[in-house]
Amino acid sequence: MSYSNEIEPLVPVAMIVAMSKNRIIGVDGNLPWHLPEDLKFFKRMTQAKPLVMGRKTYTSIGKPLPNRLNIVITHNKDFAPEGVRVCHDLPAALALADQQATIDAAEEIMVMGGGEIYRQALPYAQRLYITEVDIEVEGDAAFPELAADEWREVQRVAGAPTEGKPSYDFVVYERAAD
């Protein structure tokens, strides 16, 4: 299977992210909050699906996530951590994820950041799993703006914040039909 700059994976591409009201997703390589229920949601939604992430996101996690193919995008030709597949651009990463998803009968490919990877992958995404955290924070990584006419909300479930934690909703968006 050969891909040019025009990527058309057979398996749908989805993105998963937790972001603040002002679209911040990271501060110094870390999440700006600790929401255990969101981490459980992330694990549940990404199990057995190929994961595509940037090097900074991988480095912030520190190890491959189990029970799924971890694909890391980096320009660094010497970057080769054990337990992950390295690609040097988004088209190559999506092609590899598509092949693995087809083999594994995975229902979707999951893109998990960071900010630059989300920006590049957004045109290919069919579904977004967004944890909308009811807080505004300063940060150095942000999720791209969504064009209101391109996305429709299909599900919203309120999270159950614990004391001292911000409230949040789990929201699913699907790309609007042309």
Report the range of poorest mean pLDDT among 71-75, 115-119, 157-161, 170-174: 157-161
Mean pLDDT of the chain: 94
Say yes or no to pLDDT of 166 above 70: yes
Q: Which two tokens stand for residue 21?
A: 């009201």
The pLDDT, as a whole number, for residue 7 is 67
- Would you tell me how many other CB atoms lie within 10 Å of the CB of residue 28? 9
Architecture of the 13-175 domain: 3-Layer(aba) Sandwich (3.40)
Instruction: Give the mean model confidence (pLDDT) for residues 124-149.
Output: 97
Helix runs in 62-150, H state only: 90-104, 115-121
Q: pTM value?
A: 0.93
Say yes or no to pLDDT of 96 above 50: yes
The pLDDT, as a whole number, for residue 4 is 43
Cβ contacts of 125 within 8 Å, gap of 6 or more: 13, 14, 15, 111, 175
The pLDDT, as a whole number, for residue 125 is 97
CA distance 58 to 80: 12
CA distance 164 to 3: 47
Q: Measured in whole angstroms, how far is the alpha carbon of residue 175 from the centre of its chain?
A: 16
